[in-house]
Structure 1
Amino acid sequence: MFGKKKKSIHQTSNPDITAAPQRASRELERETESHRQTLRALRQTEREWQRTFDAIKDPVIILSPDLKVRKGNAAAKKLLGGGKPLEGKYCYELFAGSKETCRICPVPESSTSGDMQEQEVEHRYLGRTFHVNCAPIVEDGQLLGYAYTAKDITLQRTLEKQLIQAQKMEAIATLAGGIAHDFNNILGAILGNTDLLLYRLPGKNNDGDPTLTLPEITQHLQAIKKAANRAKDLVSQILAFSRQSASRRKNVSIVPAIKEAIKLLRSSLPATIEIKADIDPDVCRIHADLTQIHQVFMNLCTNAAQAIDHEEGRLEITLRNVDAGPDELQRYPDLRPDRYLMLQVKDNGHGIPADLLERIFDPFFTTREVGEGTGMGLAVIHGIVTSHDGIIDVRSREGKGSEFTVFIPCAAEESEAQDDVVVALPLGKETILFVDDEEEIVAMRTRMLQYLGYTVLPATSPERALEYVRTEGERIDLVITDQTMPRMTGLHLAREIHKLQPEMPIILCSGFSEAVTPDEARNAGISTFLMKPLDMRLLAQTIRKTVNSRRKE
């Protein structure tokens, strides 16, 4: 019994205990490998996300709640940073070069609701127009930032403007005969009344009747002025219709524009087409660009006239208010319950075949022969109406004519029209430098300004005007200059005058409102812009307002 040997300590130890360190080491290695795999997977996911993020062709940036850039894709870096990182910069620094939030900021007002804000924004700093989407990034009711996407639509907008302009020119060509007819009538009235005055003035014609009384002189002069104002309105209408300009919307009544357009149509369209107009003078005002609405109406009417190919043509024009109730909503499914201005143009022409009716608003779709039109007319009309939150409906039967109906929502606030107030002409005693390259204009305006009490320095060239400023600048209180002159424009002249007299107020006159932009006028130091031809009352009031404003400063 005592012959057995005792076991060594190693022999008596638990095998599990001796294997624990090895197991722990293997588990640590497995955990480390798992951690490495997780990190590799995360890096791979991040690389895949970044590749996907950079593959998006439109600029996309992730913003913090205070509008700092957290992340930008490759397109954003190329557009906003020249390929350099954008992180940490404010979005308005990148998009507008500004130290303050953009005036039109696409960031949603109700940020924690998750609502997306969509806008079309023109960034002059970048020279681009973008369609912007900005959506809040929200978790558990807390705002984490914004996802901002900008799609460059500059080319699209440029092409749209070119197409609209081409379509305008097509419509003007259609109306050219009527415009010439109207001008000939206007000139006939001016020349006829002028001849009567000249012929009957004492001593001018021995065979004529010299007994021209004051009331008769007044009557002839009023007729001349009335005809000249008609010519002025017609020129303004043509320029407004043909010019390329940004949309300028305000609360307006379109009744005067529609009535003037109907006058033009009556003299333009064939005498065989009868025009019936039912115009409610008390229709609501709409928030609209009057030039674009005028274009819609004229194009609808010229299209209707072209569809009439028989001798008993009839064009019916209706303008009235419509409260969209059940009957209207059933007839016009796209309407919403609201109050609308309704403009309708109806003809008894050849009508539109049923298989073509759904395509008439498609761009470039036309049933005319090659060379007879662009096919853009109705597409442009549809675009204008839609941009005014309106709808256009068409009903037609082949051989029975067509009926186009435009609905535009009434303006929420109707501003009261201001009646012209007849007041005495304001007079003055200041010295005015008047500049125009037309000698007759200078002579006439000099007499007019002298009648108003002013001392006039007449100049028929920019060079002569600058000579006056150099030699008599201290006594000149105001400069009135034409824009279009040989060798030097009115803008250029204004800049040269301000080098000599920095505080000199200048009124710029032009026959074309698009010739000078507001920025150009401000940069040249122009105080006021007036459209030619100048009305004596408006000129007198503008002079006093400009001079008095300078004194207050």
Structure 2
Amino acid sequence: MGLLEEKGKHFAVRQAGFTQDIDELKKYYERQVKKLRDQVQNVNAVNRKIIHSIPLPLLILDETLTVVKANNAYLNTVNKKKNEVVGLRITQVFPEGLFPEHNLLTKIREVLASGRTLCLTNIQDKSSGHAVRYMHVTFVRIGRTENDELIVFFEDITEHMNLQLQLQQAQKVETIETLAAGIAHHFNNILMGIQGHASIMLMSMDANDPFCKRLKKIEEGVEKGADLTQKLLGFAKEREFDPVLIELNNLLLKSVAIFGGVRRGIKIDTNLQENMPMLLVDPCQIEEVLLNIFINAWHAMPNGGTLHLETSTLLAHKTGSSDLGLRPGEYVKLSITDTGVGMDPETQHRIFEPFFTTRKIGEGTGLGLAAAYGIIENHKGTIRVFSKLGEGTTFHIYLPVTKESEQPEPKLSDMIIRGSGTVLLVDDEDLIRDLSAETLGLLGYTVLKAKDGIEGVSLYQQNKESIDLVILDLVMPNMEGNEVFRRIRAINPDAKVLLASGASMNGDAKELIKKGASGFLQKPYGIKAVSHKIAQIMKEG
């Protein structure tokens, strides 16, 4: 019994020690579990801070493609609370049609299965009902198996895309400007041939001749063709200025009277600032801008509406006007607002493109607003458009105020002025060269003709003592007009050179004027225009 008791006692003692060991072990593991839980909580807290500190909108999806987490950037972007987003399926998160070129679910399952990253760029989100937003969406698997979570990043690249679209638009416009200038140059040469022959025939024809009326009709057709090329040159920023000092309100009211007389059903109200500063502009060109915008507004109000016109002054500082592209200085601002149907963002982006029109075929050329844009830019101004569907459209035009020292060139009378002397005519177009020579002969001048720049320089070298004036075409093969000018001036630094071109006063012409060229003739020019120019140059000695 003693042994048993001893054994029992010993057993009891050992049993008690074992129980104590288990209790200690239990407490130890409880402490470890608590420590691990705290660590997990800390990690989760850190993860939440990281997720919510990420500036890009972010979602975390489980293996069933259900949202389990959304960061603050995402909630702020969609303007929703956490409980409104968590629990949504992926098909509920993305608006229908957001991924028109991708099978979204198939792509996401490929990400889960392979672990590869999926990037979808330039996604157009039209769900807002207003401006198109461009998105860059990235899907990344967090773990190593397809049962792990998926993280989705959203990046709004709308501003970047808009800048890219503006760059593409600028490049497209630059290309079309070059094309328009080239077309206008060649077309003006053709028109000049028609105009010149008609004018010469009219000079030698009795006013009662039955063909006189037909010739005048031909001249009218030439004028319409020249007007079209002037629009092209206006768009291409190569249109010649005929500037005069004007007060914008007077020109605006004149244009309103013309428009209002033929477009009934449109109410026009004005809010015009008094004592407006003067502008040095080509009134015909500015009037064309105004009428084009008025007509655009009329088409936007098929059932009638209101056209509101407002003028004011604006002082552009070195900073604060960069978004308008204005140089520092004082400007006159004209706002033209209609109550029409308005425009969507895509139409606004293209509104100044040449040949772009929302009208039916045959109802518009698409050149009106493109020409208006070129004219305003050529006047060192700016034009902007703001519109919303159903809320009308506003055009803002900014034109620089004229400095007191700036004065327009005086105009000559309309009478034909005859003269004498020897003129060297350099033009590669046979029709223009022969016609111009005949015209100059009728005005009393002796004419030497050169078919290109090389022959022109040679003839000048041979006859430099007798040549009083050179009429020089700027665009020619073999030798360009600017090189011909340079070589003639090398022979005679005082040589009088009158420039001519079917294009307009572009960079080359302006540079040659600065270097001493005597003037510029815009083709197609009539007998009156050339007689005035030559008389003016000869008078200046």
Q: TM-score, normalised by structure 2?
A: 0.43
Q: Which has the larger radius of gyration?
A: 2
Structure with larger RCO (C-alpha < 8 A, sep 6+): 2
Q: TM-score, normalised by structure 1?
A: 0.43
